[in-house]
A and B are shown apart, each in its own frame.
Chain A
Amino acid sequence: MTATTSSGEGAGFQERAVFVRKATGLVRGWSVRDAFIYAVFAINLVTLGWSIFDDAPFVPKGALLWSIVISGVYLIFQGITYAGLISAMPRAGGDYVWMSRVLGGGIGFVLAVAGWWFILWYWVPVYAHIFNIEVLAPLSAIAGWHGGPNFWNGSDGIFVASVITALLASLFIALGIRTYGRIQKICFYGGVFGLVVIAIMLLVTSRSGFASDFNHSAAKLFGTSGNAYQATMSSVSKAYTPSSIGGLNLSATLTLIPMMLFFNLWSNWGATLYGEVRGASDFRKNIYAMGGALLATTLVGVIFFLLFAKTFGWNFYNDANAAFWGYGHGPLGSNFPYPALLAAMIFSSPVLQFLLILIMSLWFFGWVGSVFLSSTRVIFATAFDRILPEKVAGVSRTGVPYWALFLMIAPSIGLAALYAYDTKFQSYTLDATLVIAITFLGTTVAAAILPWRKPEIYNASPIAKYKILGLPLITVAAVGFGVILVFALVEWFTNDVYGVNNADSYYLMGGMYVLAFAIYGISQIVRRRQGIDLGMVYGEIPAE
């Protein structure tokens, strides 16, 4: 039973707010901590953060620390926007349904399949790249396979890792969301333990001690000689000078933000879409989970920046990243200066080094299933709307969505081959964020106009009471979120530094939208010929 105690205006007597009888689906609640864990995994400081922070040298004057602080705090608007949509339209939720209901089926389909299906093909080699530089290459080097890092960093290695990534993601989907959820929790707690170990190691190790350990380990792992620590910094000194850790050049720092969205744009993945006979508390809980994950991850990111600066040296950390991107010929060559590997190099024991990287790999394994999870859901939803053939929603007796997985794996392997063997494609990493940002923008527009476009849904929701200066909170939050999305889109399309405003990148992304339009158009024609009117899907029945 649910009961509340009155408070505020008119209070003065105990009030039973609602009498609930026995009925299916009435649950007590859900744990913010659990939702927080999923959101933390989605933002993922280790896989997404530590891999994109290495791009900071492309904007030398940008303040990496401030860029994640500013964007992290600002993206609270995203949490409020999505929590509002979930509150107004729970269970049926998701970008596809929200956009379809508010903006129309065609717009919903095109934006959702481009952002939650097609671009995920490209995320597969991006995930694989992270798998290589944070897991396979370091483990190979520590295990004594000296050719390993070169293999994994090369074309064949990226392709092989892409196939492994696609198969791993498929395996997690095949195991079912229930099992994967358990795996994710184990990975989360293991990964957090790894982070704590690294934090303690960085705290107790001096910079000179680290430099010495680094020189020693780099020689064993990568065959360097002499003072590799100093050589790393010297190698890029003519081409690149990083800004100080606390310095704030606002313009350059804002330029870094569209890069950082690769890391922190995903808190909405932790949202909980279920709930009945409750209301405002679920809205707040979703904000706590998403916003909490965003702020906590940002805070942990900042703490690690400070620890990097203390122990690695801020210049060394950035110079190593710059060297990785070819600003000079650093002693580590094409090996990624993965912070966990740098920390592991403090150990002299290869076993401890191996174990640390292995524990930190849980951040990858707990996260890799997400690459196909959303896409299989969108494929199902569009098949149920008869846009895609009925067959693609097929599942085996054990619940494996074989057609949906095929529609993910086959194109992603093709794109992985392009990514691996045509180096141009590797520079379009931010396309992966850009296309989803466009989808989020569609959802944001839907959220902003929801109170006027679907007043009956909005007014019946628990968020209808929340206003700022007389405007619906969801509208204010959505406009706020929209501002950062539009800013990032303008930057991506106009600033060369992100590497995505070129013809091939446009073909890659544009092709996805053309494909989405084509599928939608063809489905309309085919279904009409079959006597099925797709206009019925979202047509509102009068309620008089």
Chain B
Amino acid sequence: MRIFFATDVHGSETCWRKFLNSAKHYKADVIILGGDMTGKALVPIIDDGGGNWHSTLLENREVLRGEEQVTQFEQAVKRRGYYPFRTDPDELAELSRDEDRWHALFDEHMLATVREWMELADERLAGTGIRCVVCPGNDDQLEVDEVVLEAKTVELGEGRVLDLDGYQLVSSGWANRTPWDTYREEDEPQLAERIAKMVDQITNPPERTIFSLHCPPYGTGLDDAPELTAEMDLKNAGHSVKPVGSTAVREAIERFGPALTLHGHIHESRGTKRLGKTLCVNPGSSYEQGQLLGAVIDMENGKQVKKFVLTSG
């Protein structure tokens, strides 16, 4: 069985399309998306009432004239992983004042995008025999799961044990605490309990088991993130990194010893690591560039995983 694993596409439509095409490209039987599929930013495109639209992307200010330019700009925003929306100065001012309102708008755009993605998956994957598993991550709101469940060709991974050609896959997008107080994070003891509940459901031996846990194991080099100051600036201009992975995840891997574990969460820490016989993989993420970083892994009848390669598609 060949698996293609990618993670942390963060709303990038380009990356999602590449993910759906990855099975054909890499001749994979199963494609797994490891979490954090939704975007981080909502970008207003403002009608000034005089025939021009104004917006700012990546701190570059744009003045757009006509529908064609606006549509092109919206596509650029989507490729970047953000959600564009058209508005006018009055509505924008109201949104800026009302946090609940812009959060609701954010949710609306975010869930609509996930729905579109699921429809695209159904269109592309139906009848291909390719298994597609998606497990939302700590940056994905809980409502995302419901939308994924609506898809016909995409299987939701969160908290479940899925059978994949003789292997069992358990998945969770929950992570240990982050400085951002995200949607699926909890203290290490609770995370350990969550993982233990899933592991208890496994009936396969370890060598026929795969963990897809969004958060990487602590201290493996797969979890090195830039250190932050109290003001949330990058300490030492990003030259200083520290491990931020989960001890609960590490303990679970070391205790159970699955053949393979798949992680994401820390975009900068692309790499692999062996914990005992377990191969741990974090392919990293370059979603902003529309580059789908991933891993192609061949599982061979319960043998130790040796055939794998990190990819940059």
Report if A146 contacts B (CB, 8 A).
no
Q: How far is the CA of A80 from the CA of B313 in the complex (A)?
A: 27
A178 contacts partner chain B, Cβ-Cβ < 8 Å: yes
Cβ–Cβ contact A541 & B313, under 8 A: yes
In whole Å, how far is B130's beta carbon from the nearest beta carbon of chain A?
14
Partner of A31, one of B233, B290, B298, B310: B233
Please tell me which one of the listed residues B10, B76, B242, B310 contacts residue A384 in the complex, with CB atoms under 8 A apart: B310
B181, B236, B241 — most chain A CB neighbours (10 Å): B236
The answer, yes or no, to whether B131 is at the interface (CB within 8 Å) is no
Answer whether residue B309 sits at the interface, using C-beta atoms and an 8 A cutoff. Answer: yes
Contact B242 A541 (CB under 8 A): no
Contact A19 B95 (CB under 8 A): yes
Given A15-B46, A20-B40, A27-B228, answer yes or no on A279-B59 (Cβ-Cβ < 8 Å): yes
- On whether A278 and B59 interact (CB within 8 A), knowing A92-B284, A541-B313, the answer reads yes
* Cβ of B41 to closest chain A Cβ, rounded Å: 5
Interface residues of A in 494-544 (CB under 8 A from B): 530-534, 536-544
CA distance A531 to B242 in the complex (A): 35
State which of B106, B233, B265, B311 has its C-beta within 8 Å of the C-beta of A537.
B311
**Which residues on the A side are within 8 Å of B21 (C-beta)?**
541-544
CA distance A384 to B105 in the complex (A): 41
* Cβ-defined contact, B182 with A24, below 8 A: yes
Mark out the residues of chain B between 241 and 286 whose CB falls within 8 Å of any chain A CB in the assembled complex: 241-243, 265, 267-268, 270-274, 284, 286
Give Cα distance in the complex from A56 to B265, angstroms.
52
User: Which of B143-151, B158-166, B193-201, B219-227 is near enough to bind chain A?
Assistant: B219-227
A7 within 8 A of B: yes
Question: CB within 8 Å of A: which of B288-308?
Answer: 288-293, 296, 298, 306-308
A91-B268, A181-B236 given; A13·B182 CB < 8 A: no
- Give bound CA distance, A170 to B59, whole Å: 40
Could you tell me the distance in whole angstroms from the C-beta of B206 to the nearest C-beta in chain A? 20
**Is B238 located at the chain interface by the 8 A CB criterion?**
yes
B210 to chain A, nearest CB (A): 18
Task: Pick from B58, B178, B228 the residue with the most CB of A within 10 Å.
Answer: B58
* Closest B residue by C-beta to A401: B221
Distance A413 CA – B133 CA, assembled complex (angstroms): 50
Contact with A along B204-237 (1 / 0, CB 8 A): 0000000000000001110001111001111111
Instruction: Say whether B18 contacts A530, CB under 8 Å.
Output: no
Contact (Cβ within 8 A) B76 A459: yes
> For B175, what are the chain A residues with a Cβ–Cβ distance below 8 Å?
24
Which residues of the other chain, A, contact B54 by a CB distance below 8 angstroms? 6, 10, 15
A495 to chain B, nearest CB (A): 37
Q: Tell me the nearest residue of chain A to B93, going by C-beta.
A: A14
A280 to B57, CA, bound (A): 9
**Complex formed: what's the CA distance from A465 to B62 in Å?**
10
Q: In the assembled complex, which residues on chain B have CB atoms less than 8 Å from the CB atom of A461?
A: 58, 289
How far is B94's CA from A468's CA once the two chains are assembled, in angstroms? 39
Answer yes or no: B17 CB below 8 A from chain A CBs.
Answer: yes
Q: Mark contacts of A384-428 with chain B using CB atoms, 8 A cut-off: 1 yes-contact digit, 0 otherwise.
A: 111000100111010100000000000000000000000000000
CB distance from A541 to the nearest CB of B (A): 4
Cβ-defined partner of B292 (8 Å) among A533, A541, A544: A541
The answer to whether A530 touches B306 (Cβ under 8 A) is yes
User: Does A38 touch B at the CB level, under 8 Å?
Assistant: yes
The residues in A between 360 and 392 inclusive whose CB is less than 8 angstroms from any CB of B are: 380, 384-386, 390
- Given contacts A19-B106, A530-B306, are A92 and B59 in contact (CB under 8 A)? no
* Distance, CA A80 to CA B296, complexed state (A): 36
Contact partner, A23, options B17, B180, B231, B243, Cβ 8 Å: B180
Task: Known A91-B286, A534-B309, A544-B17; judge A26-B270 contact (CB<8 A).
Answer: no
A–B complex contacts, Cβ < 8 Å, 28 sampled:
A8-B61, A15-B46, A15-B92, A18-B41, A19-B105, A22-B183, A23-B40, A23-B139, A27-B232, A28-B231, A29-B233, A34-B236, A35-B239, A38-B237, A38-B239, A90-B288, A278-B59, A279-B57, A461-B58, A531-B307, A532-B307, A536-B296, A538-B311, A541-B22, A541-B25, A543-B17, A543-B18, A543-B21
Which chain A residues have a beta carbon within 8 Å of chain B's beta carbons?
Answer: 3-4, 6-10, 12-32, 34-35, 38, 88-92, 97, 100-101, 177-178, 181-182, 185, 270, 272-274, 276-281, 289, 380, 384-386, 390, 393-395, 397, 399, 456-457, 459-462, 465, 530-534, 536-544
Report the 3 A-B pairs with minimum CB-CB distance, sorted nearest first: A279-B58, A541-B313, A34-B237
